[in-house]
Structure 1
Amino acid sequence: MADEELPELPRGIALAWGVAANPQRGPKREMSVEKIVDAAVELAEADGIGAVSMAAVAAKLGFTPMSLYRYVSAKDDLLLLMQEQATGLPPEEHREHEGWRDRLRALFEAQTLIYLRHPWILSLPITGSPITPNSSAWIDAGLEALSPTPLSEIEKLAVTLAATGHARWYGMVTAGYAETSRATGLNPNEVALQEATLFDRVITVEEFPYLRAAIDAGVFTAPDDPFRFGLERLLDGVAMYIDRLEQGGERAPVREWIAVDPAELTGDKKHREAQKAVRDAEKALRDARKLERQVRRDAIARAARARGEA
């Protein structure tokens, strides 16, 4: 095993860690990986990730696309480096907080702000574990916050990933509302009110009784932050679990991954056709139930009229 040669780092990861070989030719003094990434990030900040291409970045820098490929050999590598730059390092201020909970909360807030400042990051696919310096630093910060607890290393990572995932989901929704505000000229409160009005028009008590009750309670226009509530309840659960461990309780078993049919992942044609048949059947069922409710309402109305006439 010791004699086996370690696999070569992918070009993008090697560039992120600063261990990639420099190009042997090209406009070295005028061009650099850093300048390429800076230009690409500027394009994304101005017009979204769809505006980023090797040709667009080259044009912004005044070079040909081939000049870029000598430094960044693939667009996927460029996207990785853009994400790495925009993510940055965790703020040192999170260490000023006392206790694992306050530290995790500070990291959560800082991560959410990254997504709000650079919403184009949310358009990048997640293709695996983040093996770059800045992304690794965020995970390390979460693990450091949990280091005084009796959680196992697996449990610490699970909690860190849960908080990180919640921040990403928070960022996705909040950035989406912010984009709607920019596109419509409405402020966030007006966007929420518009959304509530649309829900009010289509959600009926007969079809969606519990959602209708929530709408009538004003959930879409309430000032409360549901994401903050969710985070705090997540941390409550972790705190209870830590208390249990400190009192000598047993660890929770680590469950298996959710099983997914390989045919679904590979896009098997017969599987897609079967899924479409299920969707069609579900739509037919929804339509039948809707018709049933309408017939019932009509019958009740006719019975009421008949009693009135009698």
Structure 2
Amino acid sequence: MADEELPELPRGIALAWGVAANPQRGPKREMSVERIVDTAVELADAEGIGAVSMAAVAARLGFTPMSLYRYVSAKDDLLLLMQEQATGVPPEEHREHEGWRARLRALFEAQVLIYLRHPWILSLPITGSPITPNSSAWIDAGLEALAATPLSETERLAVALAMTGHARWYGMVLAGYDEQARTNDLTADEVSAREAALFDRVITAAEFPHLRAAVDAGVFTAPDDPFRFAMERLLDGVGMYIEAVAQGAAHATAQDWVSLDPAELTGDKKYREAQKGVREAEKALRDARKIERQARRDALERAARGRRDS
């Protein structure tokens, strides 16, 4: 049986690995893929990802957009290379920490910093596993941190991806708060205080009793960091699982993906109409419960007035 032919690397990935063919001719020697990417990253850092276009990058370099296409043939390839450069490689310092937990924590913090330095990365879509040198280096570092544990290769990857995903979510929140602070000329504490005031204004105990209790407890202005708390509890769970495996417990298996119903994936019209009907019914139920809660409040107030007047 003949060997299957390996798929050709997409040009963006080939450029990232340095195995793409160079253009046979270019406008000037000053032009290169590296310089194009450098300029695009500088533009995104200064003005956001929305400011990045082949024309804008070409203008900064003093060339025509067509000149860029000789080196980077599509904007998607440019975005991939920008993300690759901005991501960089994991800091060597993470290896100085003792134990898998401390190393994963160091990698987590380093990833969050990347998102704060280059928040535009968070706007780029996730279209699959990263198959570029720097992105691969981060995954490898996470696996290396867990190499001495009794976890299986699959479990090590799962833990590394969980930490990476939590770092992205944490970075997204911090970058958003930073943007709010810059836009409104506020400190981080002032942003939190304003958010707490908005929650205090709209959240009622009758409609959202548990969230109201949290607001009253001051969770939105507390110094505690809920994202770091969650990260530490994630590591706690991994540690407990490692101990169980070391003591001879069987490895856990989980093979089911969360997925959409096939009818929804195919865009079935009747299915969409049925979903719309369910959403409308759920909205009507929420509205009815809201009216019920208001009626209960009004009845209690009338009863209280009646007792005062009697």
TM-score range, shorter chain: over 0.9
In structure 2, give the amino acid aligned to 1:114: I
Alignment partners' CA distance in 1, 2:2 and 2:224: 57
**TM superposition shift of 1:280:** 2.5
For 2:9, the equivalent position in structure 1 comes to: 9
In structure 2, what is the equivalent of residue 250 of structure 1? 250
- 2-side partners of 1:242 and 1:194: how far apart? 42
| Structure 1 letter corresponding to 2:35 | K
Mapped partners of 1:287, 1:14: distance in 2: 54
Q: Which residue of 1 aligns with 2:109?
A: 109
Q: Which residue of 2 aligns with 1:241?
A: 241
AA aligned opposite 2:49? I
Say if 1:4 and 1:123 are closer, same or farther in 2 by CA, change over 3 A. same
What is the match of residue 178 of structure 2?
A: 178
Change (3 A) 1:80 1:263: farther
Q: Structure 1 residues 273 and 48, CA, compared in 2 at 3 Å: closer, same or farther?
A: farther
Q: Secondary structure of 2:4's match?
A: coil
Partner of residue 52, structure 2 = 52
Partner in structure 2 of residue 22 of structure 1 = 22
Check if 1:147 corresponds to 2:147: yes
Q: CA deviation at 1:12?
A: 0.1
CA distance 1:174–1:265, shift in 2 (3 Å): farther
| Map of 2:80 onto structure 1 | 80
Letter in 2 for 1:153: E
Q: CA deviation at 1:242?
A: 0.5
Deviations 1:137-176 (CA, angstroms, capped at 9, x unpaired): 0000000000000000000000000000000000000000
The residue that corresponds to 2:215 in the other structure is 215
SS in 2 for 1:84: helix
| Counterpart-to-counterpart distance in 2, 1:237 and 1:163 | 12
Work out the CA distance in 1 between the residues paired with 2:87 and 2:307. Answer: 69
Q: How does 1:289-308 map to 2 (within 5 A)?
A: 289-308=289-308
Structure 2 distance, partners of 1:4, 1:209, is 60
CA distance in 2, matches of 1:143, 1:131: 16
Deviations 1:257-302 (A, max 9, x none): 1131234345555444443333322222221111101111111222
Unaligned runs of 5+ in 2: none
Shift of 1:2: 5.6
Change (3 A) 1:266 1:109: farther
Higher mean alpha-carbon deviation, 274-283 vs 252-261, is at: 274-283
**Structure 1 CA distance, aligned partners of 2:263 and 2:179?**
36
Matches within 5 A, 1:55-134: 55-134=55-134
Aligned pair 1:193/2:193, yes or no? yes
Distance verdict in 2 for CA 1:263–1:26, change over 3 Å: farther
Q: Deviations over 1:60-83 (max 9, x none)?
A: 111111111110010000000000
Question: Residue type of the partner of 2:251?
Answer: R
Measured against aligned partners, the alpha-carbon deviations of 1:165-211 in whole angstroms (never above 9, x if no partner) come to: 00000000000000000100001100000000000000000000000
TM-score (norm 1): 0.96
Residue 30 of structure 1 deviates from its aligned partner by 2.1
Are 1:281 and 2:281 matched, yes or no? Answer: yes
Return the offset for 1:252.
Answer: 1.4
Q: CA deviation at 1:36?
A: 0.6
Q: What do the CA deviations read for 1:71-103 (whole angstroms, capped 9, x no partner)?
A: 001000000000000000000000000000000
Using the aligned pairs only, state the percent identity.
Answer: 81
TM-score (norm 2): 0.96
SS of corresponding position for 1:73: coil
Deviation at 1:303, TM superposition (A): 2.1
Alpha-carbon distance between aligned partners in 2 of 1:254 and 1:291, rounded to the nearest angstrom: 43
Q: 1:58 to 1:232 in 2, by over 3 A?
A: same
Q: Quick one: structure 1 residues 266 and 175, their matched pair in 2 at CA, closer, same or farther if it must change by over 3 Å?
A: farther
| Aligned equivalents of 1:273, 1:61: Cα separation in 2 | 51
The one-letter amino acid paired with 2:228 is R
Q: Distance in 1 between matches of 2:302 and 2:214?
A: 30
| Letter of the 1:305 counterpart | R
Provide the C-alpha distance between the structure 2 equivalents of 1:19 and 1:161, rounded to a whole number of angstroms: 27
Letter in 2 for 1:35: R
Alignment of 1:32-47 (within 5 A): 32-47=32-47
CA distance in 2, matches of 1:168, 1:125: 12
How many residue pairs are counted as aligned between the two chains? 310
Alpha-carbon shift at residue 7 of structure 1 (Å)? 1.2
Distance 2:291 2:153 in 1: 54
